[in-house]
Amino acid sequence: MKADRLITADLYVRVSTDEQADRGYSQRNQEEMLRKYCIARYIEIRDIIYEDHSAKSFNRPEWRKFLANLRRHPNQTDLVLFTKWDRFSRNAGDAYQMINILRGLGVEPQAVEQPLDLSVPENKMMLAIYLAAPEVENDRRALNVFYGMRRAKKEGRYMGLAPVGYENRTDIKGNKYIAPNDSDAAIVTWSFEEIAKGVYNAEQVWKQAKEKGLKCSKSTFWQMIRNPVYCGKIFVSKFKDEESHFVGGRHQPLISEALFEKVQEVLDCRGIGSSPKIKIRDDFPLRGILICPVCGRLLTASKSKGRNRYYSYYHCRDGCHYRVREEKIDLAIRKELGRYRPDNEVMKIYTKIVAETYYELTRSTQLLKRRLSNMLKELQNKQFHIRDLLTAQKIDPLDYLEIKKQYTVSCVELEKKLKAISQSVPPIEVLLEKETACRMALDEFYEEGNTEDKRNLIGLVYTGKLLFYGTVIGDNKVSAAVEMLYYYN
């Protein structure tokens, strides 16, 4: 029974990594204080739990292990001791819940510098103060950050992750700012200029920008062309009695205010003649390739106006009234091409050729990427090593912070270089996964291609003109290359 033996306690020593330099919070100081407390009161120390994690919640690695051990092996300890209640938790609600859990397991939590007899009801008020104080401190810190960021915005500084076309940088004084990205800034400017012309709609411009190398989703592109940051303005949102407004940014604008306003007019369809137009092109890739099944002449094509829209037809002429809807022939062509599937051995050879060509063209870049990755991994391992040295009290906390700062700066620079390389040269796995099957699938290539691509593909697959019988393509001769590379399903 507990009365027949010494009181047993587990010591809980917690400090977040950034608090290590504060000697009042160091693990060494906390452990020394807890040991003296136990010696003075003849308390037997069963175990010491070292935690390097925030106290915002109890989702901490070492605390979870400690709690699981209490549940597996009950009645092994009487107390869990820590220096102050903010070492235990910085959230009052979570703290009360955890205290009840520990009591249910027969363990009493206690702060040696702020001792409380929780069996006395009045002491719960003091506990609420001890627990609420750190939470209030956290809330105050968060509010200070909010005010600081708002002040920075009002001074024209962009806060947060840099938008497309910009990158985050730090000046010699440690101030954060954004600057144009050499790889994307020119494409972003071009996108605004194209939309302002009113020739293409926004989605078409986005697709063309992607072909030029811009890496962003459609939704991100829409946010980009609506963002006044690109013309040098920073938006400050409404707060209390202060209305929302724009301020001049300190960063370099990519476009003029006049161009930005013109783009907004086009997007809102306010400008005269500014409604985006679709570029007109020949939408009949089989014109001059199809043979009329009635008279044997080549079919032409045209659009016929219906009640609500235009309808496309391939048709004969000079007295022959044969005609067929363009959609019907297009469906038949894709269905027929879909029967041709690349042979497995051919697919392996094609994939191997693509991979070898890719590595040959990107050899120097791949070597640089591998070297930078190894350097980054080495630096990260060094960071873990100095943290272990700090935990084992083999390095001074101030020295730890200085070394950590140097390693962090180096890691950020390496990560920036790796990101730039990865954006310029995508991994071969991505290319093989997305491109190989698509390029070898004739029906998918036909469906996604433009008029010129479709005509070229038909010319490669078939050796002569095509004869269309109702719903299928007739017995047209297939090229020797297709017969060699594909099997007919």
Question: H/E/C letters for each residue in 331-389?
Answer: HHHHHHHCCEEECHHHHHHHHHHHHHHHHHHCHHHHHHHHHHHHHHHHHHHHHHHHHHH
Q: What pTM was computed for the model?
A: 0.38
State mean pLDDT over 368-392: 84
Q: Is the pLDDT of residue 277 over 50?
A: no
Distance, CA of 132 to CA of 144 (rounded, Å): 18
What average pLDDT is seen over the chain? 81
Range from 216-225, 253-262, 468-477 carrying the lowest mean pLDDT: 468-477
Chain-centre distance for alpha carbon 172? 29
As a 3-state breakdown, the chain gives helix, strand, coil percent values, each rounded to 5, of 50, 15, 35
pLDDT at 2 (0 to 100): 47
pLDDT at 88 over 60: yes
| Model confidence band, residue 426 (pLDDT cutoffs 50, 70, 90) | low
Burial class (CB in 10 A: 0-12, 13-18, 19+), 474: exposed
Q: What are the structure tokens assigned to 424, written together?
A: 């310029």
- Per-residue pLDDT at 231: 92
CB atoms within 10 A of CB 31: 16
Average pLDDT over residues 148-160: 82
Q: Worst-scoring range by mean pLDDT, 52-61, 210-219, 270-279?
A: 270-279
Q: CATH classification of 2-138 is 2.10.109.10, yes or no? A: no
Q: Between 435 and 272, where is the model more confident?
A: 435
What's the pLDDT at 26?
76
**Does 1 have pLDDT greater than 50?**
no
Residue 473 has pLDDT above 80, yes or no: no
pLDDT score, position 254: 92
Per CATH, which fold does 166-268 belong to? Answer: Hect, E3 ligase catalytic domain fold (3.90.1750)
